[in-house]
Amino acid sequence: MDNNDTSKAEQGEVEPSKSQPSEESKTVEESQPAPDKAIASEDNYVVFKGVKTGYGQMEVLHGIDLTVKKGEIVSLIGANGAGKSTTLMTLSGVNRVWDGEIIFDGESLNNLQPHEIVARGICHVPEGRQIFPDLTVRENLQMGAFLRNDKDEIQADLEKCFKLFPILDERSTQLGGTLSGGEQQMLAIARALMARPNVLLLDEPSLGLAPFIIQQIFAIVKDLNAQGTTVFIVEQNAKAALRLSHRGYVMETGKIVLSGKAEKLIEDPRVREAFLGE
Ligand SMILES: Nc1ncnc2c1ncn2[C@@H]1O[C@H](COP(=O)(O)OP(=O)(O)O)[C@@H](O)[C@H]1O
Ligand SMILES: [Mg+2]
């Protein structure tokens, strides 16, 4: 697999030639002589190479380059309408790739259907949760395992989810629609976990939730990552997302304009001004 273009471009070593947007894209480590060698091409798990997509005639992603390595938490931050959800929906196959390529674990996802992408362990927790309001908490969780037929293991995973989110255990017979926003977000994440994801895609998990609940949810995401789940998270809540992440990308109107280690991005004046209100 040849991801050299992508990773070098990310490190600011070369003028990327393939995708026009990257000429505006900067890394926060760009002025340093030895960029983060951890962004090595070999262990890239998810790779976007010059990805374009859109709706109808309108192009929304104008050639996105990004990578997520196995075991990382990577965040994609940006204002409302930047194209963050579109990026996740393209990765999960709901939106088709118009140009460029999305690769997972060395294999192109371009021509796969959403269920085939789920089968590869890429599980999307969409914006707005989208749990089943008329099913109980337990039934919602069971739906998350719909591609599996290992009954005993499913039961064991259900117990694990209830341990991770005790509130869901308490509410297991309650209808999904009667849960609070925070509980629904927990249910949506737990449901994705029932598919035993390799990569968890989280779209604005903090949206509309109280800071205390956001902290709880992000702590659990951190735990899941520590146990081996790779996480790609999309957030307008840039500070919370970057605090949680190893690396981040900043998106503006369908282009990546900045990327780098999360702790550097948090300090970057451009990020502070645009997203952190400082
Ligand atoms: N289903 C859709 N049909 C048409 N345009 C859409 C659709 N979804 C999103 N868009 C447009 O695509 C752009 C990016 O949207 P989105 O990916 O949802 O941004 P973000 O998640 O960063 O807020 C916006 O201009 C939005 O209006
Ligand atoms: Mg969105």
Cα of 98 to ligand 1 centre, how many Å? 16
**pLDDT over 70 percentage in the chain:** 85
pLDDT in tens, 186-211: 999 999 999 999 999 999 999 989 99
**Banded pLDDT at 129 (limits 50, 70, 90):** confident
- The arithmetic mean of pLDDT across residues 215-232, rounded, is 94
How much is the pTM? Answer: 0.85
Instruction: Give the start-to-end residue ranges of the domains of the chain.
Output: 4-275
Residue of 58, 59, 60 with the most ligand 1 atoms within 8 Å of its CB, for mutation: 60
pLDDT at 28: 67
HEC readout, the chain: CCCHHHHHHHCCCCCCCCCHHHHCCEECCCCCCCCCCCCCCCCEEEEEEEEEEEECCEEEEEEEEEEEECCCEEEEEECCCCCHHHHHHHHCCCCCCCEEEEEECCEECCCCCHHHHHHCCEEEECCCCCCCCCCEHHHHHHHCCCCCCCHHHHHHHHHHHHHHCHHHHHCCCCEHHHCCHHHHHHHHHHHHHCCCCCEEEEECCCCCCCHHHHHHHHHHHHHHHHCCCEEEEEECCHHHHHHHCCEEEEEECCEEEEEEEHHHHHHCHHHHHHHCCC
92-96, 99-103, 213-217, 246-250, range with the lowest pLDDT: 213-217
Query: Above 80 in pLDDT, residue 19?
Result: no
Does domain 4-275 fall under CATH 3.40.50.300? My reply is yes
**Residue 275's pLDDT band (cuts 50, 70, 90):** confident
Model confidence at 8: pLDDT above 70: no
* Whether the CB of 82 sits within 6 Å of ligand 1: yes
